[in-house]
Copies of this chain bind each other. A is one copy, B any other.
Amino acid sequence: MPSNPVYLGVIGVGGVGNAFLHQLAKLPAPPSLILLARSSQTLLSPAPAYSPAIPAADWQTASATPSLTKSGALTPAEIVSYLSSAPGRSVLVDNTSDPALASAYPQFLKAGISIVTPNKKGFSSDLSLWKDIFTSAATGNALIYHESTVGAGLPVISTLRDLVATGDEVTRIEGVFSGTLSFLFNTFAPVSGASSAKWSDVVSQAKDLGYTEPDPRDDLNGMDVARKLTILARIAGLEVQSPNSFPIESLIPAELASLPSTAEGVKEFMARLPDFDGQIAAVKEQAEKEGKVVRYVGSIDVAAKQVTVGLQKFNKDSAIAGLKGSDNIISFYTKRYGGNPLIIQGGGAGGEVTAMGVLSDLIKVLERL
């Protein structure tokens, strides 16, 4: 298809944002990058020409040239206004995890601005926002793609949407959805059973390796997994009100839940975590006695309309038990696939693969605009 010029606004230059910009710059015919925003600064191609474009990989150097406009943080309304005045269709790439920006998606979409994002917030908060997003996209004749909200670059969302769109009946979705929790349990309770590592040591190691959020409780509370499950359940047809409307097993000991999320609080959390090693060791040992291993999984029973997030025991020869490193695995049980599920497995976190999912979505949007 011959593509008309498309204009791109990108928000966020963290790990994912940076990797995205570098991948974008290598496309054979990238769209014009006309807005690049980070927390307090915005770089713009000067209106009304919307030219020159911002060089995606060299924006830091280019921002020093007078040919680009610099500004402080813009409001969503200001960004909508700027992008919708561009001389062609435009796309917003939200590489943040900002809930405020996500709640403004309907404004963008109604104005005909398509959205591509790994930001889970828009799709896993109140059901009303989810509905507003998809209704607004239809109203504004805009597209919205969010592959990287689940499993990073793994083809999870697209596969589920294809199953649903072609009329298959998805009965159950099950898997390991957090790279961090995958690593923690693959290390703490390996299939070989040879590990005698303490839980708190494994958490500490993961933190040192940068596998956890700066505050490991943001992984251990299960909310990240709950948000991903909320998204998949909604695509599968369940009207999940919010990620708080189903049980989430938190791995944060109750006694430590109220520690503040300051650096001091994190320090105290890590210092006191060893006191609770016995609790989770008991869970591991119980599983061992049954010839199983324990894993932190999410599952959706579509018929029963049930979503659960927490620890479960798995046979050692199961695909979930055999997972390596910080891999994700997602199994789709459907009517057409019968007893053996369709399985997607691989790295589900990290800047490069997350950015790849975003870029892959962007390419699909460009093909359709």
> A324 to chain B: which residues have CB within 8 Å?
340
Complex: how many Å from CA A317 to CA B345?
Answer: 16
> A339 to chain B: which residues have CB within 8 Å?
325
> A191 to chain B: which residues have CB within 8 Å?
317
A325 and B340 within 8 A (CB): yes
Q: Please tell me if A347 contacts chain B, counting CB pairs below 8 Å.
A: yes
> A167 to chain B: which residues have CB within 8 Å?
23, 26-27, 359
Name A166's contact: one of B340, B360, B368 (CB within 8 Å): B360
Instruction: Bits for A23-36, please: 1 = Cβ < 8 Å to B, else 0.
Output: 10011000000000
Q: Which one, A78-86, A155-163, A268-276, A301-309, is touching chain B?
A: A155-163
Q: Please tell me if A266 contacts chain B, counting CB pairs below 8 Å.
A: no
Instruction: Bits for A153-179, please: 1 = Cβ < 8 Å to B, else 0.
Output: 111001100110111100000000000
Number of contacting residues on A, CB 8 A?
45
| Copies of this chain, tallied across the complex | 2
B343 and A347 within 8 A (CB): no
> A336 to chain B: which residues have CB within 8 Å?
153, 352-353, 356
Smallest CB–CB gap between A165 and chain B, Å?
6
**Chain A, range 193-226, C-beta contacts under 8 Å to B:** none
B1 and A143 within 8 A (CB): yes
> A368 to chain B: which residues have CB within 8 Å?
1, 367-368
Given contacts A141-B1, A158-B158, contact A343 B340 (CB under 8 A): no
**Chain A, range 96-153, C-beta contacts under 8 Å to B:** 141, 143, 153
- Most chain B CB inside 10 Å of its own CB: which residue of A163, A337, A368: A337
Q: Please tell me if A322 contacts chain B, counting CB pairs below 8 Å.
A: yes
B352 and A346 within 8 A (CB): no
Name A337's contact: one of B143, B322, B347, B363 (CB within 8 Å): B347
Complex: how many Å from CA A367 to CA B114?
Answer: 15
A337 and B346 within 8 A (CB): yes
> A23 to chain B: which residues have CB within 8 Å?
166-167
Smallest CB–CB gap between A176 and chain B, Å?
13
Nearest B-chain residue to A168, judged by Cβ: B356
Nearest B-chain residue to A159, judged by Cβ: B155
Complex: how many Å from CA A257 to CA B345?
Answer: 39
Smallest CB–CB gap between A229 and chain B, Å?
21
Complex: how many Å from CA A153 to CA B345?
Answer: 17
Q: Please tell me if A73 contacts chain B, counting CB pairs below 8 Å.
A: no
Q: Please tell me if A341 contacts chain B, counting CB pairs below 8 Å.
A: yes
Smallest CB–CB gap between A54 and chain B, Å?
19
B353 and A346 within 8 A (CB): no
B356 and A346 within 8 A (CB): no
Complex: how many Å from CA A252 to CA B329?
Answer: 37
Q: Enumerate chain A interface residues (CB-CB to B < 8 A).
A: 1-2, 23, 26-27, 141, 143, 153-155, 158-159, 162-163, 165-168, 191, 317, 319, 322, 324-325, 327, 336-347, 352-353, 356, 359-360, 363, 367-368
